[in-house]
Chain A
Amino acid sequence: MTETPRVGLFATCLVDLYRPTVGFAAAHLLEKAGCRVDVPAAQVCCGQPAYNAGDRDNAAAIARQTIELFETFDYVVAPSGSCAGMLKLHYPDLLADDPAYAARARALAGRTWELIAFLTDILDWDGVDADWPGDVTYHDACSGLRELGVRDQPRRLLARVSGLKVNELGAPDVCCGFGGTFCIKYPEVSGAMVDRKTDDICDTGASTLLAGDLGCLMNIAGRLTRRGEKIEVRHVAEVLAGIADGPAIGQPDN
């Protein structure tokens, strides 16, 4: 690429609130891959909670606001398949009948990417410079996998982390039971789903679980600690960026 691409980092509301480290890791990776990263200060949420609750009006209002904030960048990148999928696939549907925004939504969608897919598929980058001693396992978060086709890309980059070995889950593509507000509307059903996921994680013998979506990671981490398991949970970007030295998700300060 001849010019430095300008990337608007859509941190996602969960990263913004719960785990800024993921945002810094994402920015670090993007900069290493040759991008200029901006973090628009007025960013909020992609609007998925409203969209998936059937509240189209509020979802559309939030979508318009996100479009206005991010449409000047060459690319919009989010460290989440779920939120990237919202911008990429659902904004165009949500605003299809809005004459002032339909084309803008489609244009933004065409430039929006999930972090790992952007690094690998768009920038063709694999300059990972990190080490991680030990075995990890990897959960394929649903939206990234099924909406955006993110599966091999994170594994390809993880293979370049020195010392790291991936022990695959028995069922890496099965939902962890998060599902946004689903997990609080139907806690027992969601609980059964995350229990199957945590059983699967424990069976791999890995000491760390990685994934690309903070919602799933918080759900899985919360269930693992509730069950008293010692497995650490982190966003894949933290390990790839080599800034996974702080406490894991749901763990106290060192």
Chain B
Amino acid sequence: MKTGSSLEFSRNAARAQADADLQAALEKLQRDTRTSRPAVTGRLPEFEDLRDRAVAIKNHTLAHLDHYLEQFEANVIDAGGKVHWCSDADGARETILQICRDADARTVGKGKSMVSEEIHLNDHLIENGLDVVETDLGEYILQLREETPSHVVMPAIHLKKEQIADTFREHHTTLDPDRPLDESKHMTAEARTRLREKFLAADVGITGANMLIAETGSVVVVTNEGNGDLTQTLPRIHIVLATIEKAVPSIEDALSIVRILARSATGQEITCYTTFATGARRAGDLDGPEEFHVVLMDNGRTKLLESGFRDVLRCIRCGACQSACPVYGAVGGHAYGGVYGGPIGAVLTPALDGIDKAWTLPEASSFCGSCEAVCPMRIPLPDLMRRWREIAHREKLNKAATRRGLAIWAWAAKRPKLYRAGARFAVAALRLLGRRKGRFQSLPLAGGWTAMRDLPAPEGGTFVDRWHRERGA
């Protein structure tokens, strides 16, 4: 499904709502999440304490980020690796391309990385003649379909099994037409067969990082498929692409965060693989890459660190806010138009793309607070969305009609006597018009409301007037 930009959220949403397959997939996601997360967090009495601890770890790290990043770099170098500091997407893309060229690489295997989506890394490498293969099953399917992830941990959650089977039949031209592809295990087996060839052929493996451990220079990658391990151990070169806020001080800190990550992301206690990679292959090691590079990218993070949005840098990309969000559940991740959908996207996309290109996203929330309730890092997502709304309001980015309506209302609300007179009049008029049916199916200036629902008619009289009349006070 091709969707428009963040500014076209309404149109994207309408398209998503008309897509029956997508709606079925989203409903299943939300139904499953409702049971899986509480089940797994309920079994861990210290879950809430772990959240507090994780928040404290990240807050501390962010307050001393320069220190921990320098410590991380020193330890990567000690372990025989290299750190490349890149301020933006261009720098990171060029650095990675150059490492590939220096190694005479032809084939690149990729582990799942949202940061690589953020900088459109695949396109850049492919344009420059490299064969790039996503090795995470979901990402591989999306690569075949030329789509982007719609969820940070379940990138192909918007697809049904049948759509995936069709994709395999279309692209895997040597696939025996009689081979069954009805079940997930069949599709996984088919993908595994194809991907094995690529793992073995890859000259370079690129992964993201869930965390960067300062005290050891290790990179933590958390997966369920093991593709991340093959991507980082088999090729000659391992490149880690990570943004600076992934740093944590110690292994112990990393483990505290791992304990809340899978529970929040997929409702598992732990994922199948939690891999710590430290440096290149040492003399005597049985496997591992000859070269180990960490491309450490800022891409707007330092600016966020100094802004009122610092809390969002605690995000560990578990996707819990997406799975829990009823707006995401109604429209899916693509409707948001950016790399990240859902509540985290509504906060991050304006920072990455500019509020003028994404002011619609923080508006697209009922502020129900489900995201904040499940966020393991206790990021105050509704507050941060409201903060973006304040900036959009100040910069007059939102619709003029909305602003005008609000201004008139606020003008009256600041003049209680006038407001009360107006309220009395409006209630009387609506009461007169609506008393017979008790509701309106349409009403001038209330089209946004009556498009989807009737507007209940007022009972008659304002409460304040009636109270003072009845009580004589």
Contacts and interface: CB of A to CB of B under 8 A. Distances in A.
B286 interface: no
Contacts of A142: 366-370
**Chain A interface SS verdict (over half):** helix
Contact of A18 (B414, B453, B458, B467): B458
A159 interface: no
B291 to A, nearest CB: 48
B56 interface: no
B467 A27 contact: yes
Contact of B365 (A173, A179, A252): A179
B462 A250 contact: no
B365 A182 contact: yes
B368 A18 contact: no
A53 B454 contact: no
A17 B390 CA distance: 28
Given A175-B370, A193-B327, A252-B437, A55 B452 contact: no
Interface string B441-473: 100001011011111111111111011100101
B325 to A, nearest CB: 9
A219 B452 CA distance: 9
A42 B452 contact: no
B462 A20 contact: yes
**Interface residues on chain A, size class:** 35 or more
Interface in A138-190: 142-143, 146-147, 171, 173-175, 177-190
A44 to B, nearest CB: 5
Contacts of B409: 49-50
Interface stretch (B10-18, B96-104, B270-278, B337-345): B10-18
Interface of A: 11, 15-24, 27, 38-39, 41-45, 47, 49-56, 58, 61-62, 65, 142-143, 146-147, 171, 173-175, 177-194, 196, 218-219, 221-223, 225-226, 246-247, 249-253
Interface of B: 9-10, 13-14, 17, 34, 326-327, 330-331, 363-370, 372-373, 386, 388-394, 398, 402, 406, 409-410, 413-414, 416-417, 419-420, 423, 426-427, 435-439, 441, 446, 448-449, 451-464, 466-468, 471, 473
Q: Which 10 A-B pairs have the closest CB atoms?
A: A179-B366, A184-B448, A222-B453, A54-B389, A54-B393, A191-B452, A175-B368, A250-B456, A252-B438, A20-B463
28 contacts: A16-B464, A17-B426, A18-B456, A20-B463, A23-B463, A41-B468, A54-B386, A54-B394, A55-B410, A58-B413, A61-B414, A62-B413, A65-B416, A143-B367, A174-B370, A175-B326, A175-B368, A183-B366, A187-B452, A188-B13, A189-B17, A192-B17, A194-B453, A196-B326, A222-B454, A225-B453, A226-B452, A250-B456
Given A193-B327, A221-B456, 5 more contacts: A17-B426, A39-B468, A65-B414, A184-B449, A252-B437
